[in-house]
């Protein structure tokens, strides 16, 4: 779980670390390559595409140990819901 590159500026240790405030801080950060001149909605959409459940399952979940799969999947679902809430 901790090795997933969650879109936050702080270390993510547990599901409780995935907060709306933390994700907003990351999405709105001014130094994100390729997103510097984009508005908040465009940035959130870009992150939603990156974290889309199908894409996430294909690219990340196959690398996650069986012991962590449930927690990582729950984190990804929470993240998508929080990103959707930013739109």
Q: What is the pLDDT of residues 50-85, one digit of tens each?
A: 898 888 888 889 899 999 999 999 999 999 999 898
Q: How far is CA 12 from the centre of its chain?
A: 11
pTM above 0.85, yes or no: no
Cα 68 to Cα 23, 26, 37, 49, distances in angstroms: 22, 24, 37, 23
Give the list of residues 6+ apart from residue 15 with CB closer than 8 angstroms, or none.
71, 74, 75, 78
Residue 15 CB burial class (10 angstroms; 0-12, 13-18, ≥19): middle
């Amino acid at each position: 779980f901790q090795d997933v590159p969650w879109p936050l500026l702080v270390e993510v240790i547990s599901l409780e670390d995935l907060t709306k405030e933390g994700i907003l801080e990351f999405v709105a950060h001014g130094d994100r390559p390729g997103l510097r001149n984009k508005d908040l909605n465009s940035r959130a959409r870009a992150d939603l595409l990156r974290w889309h459940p199908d894409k996430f399952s294909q690219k990340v979940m196959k690398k996650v140990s069986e012991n962590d799969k449930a927690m990582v999947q729950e984190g990804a679902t929470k993240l998508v819901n929080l990103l959707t809430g930013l739109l």
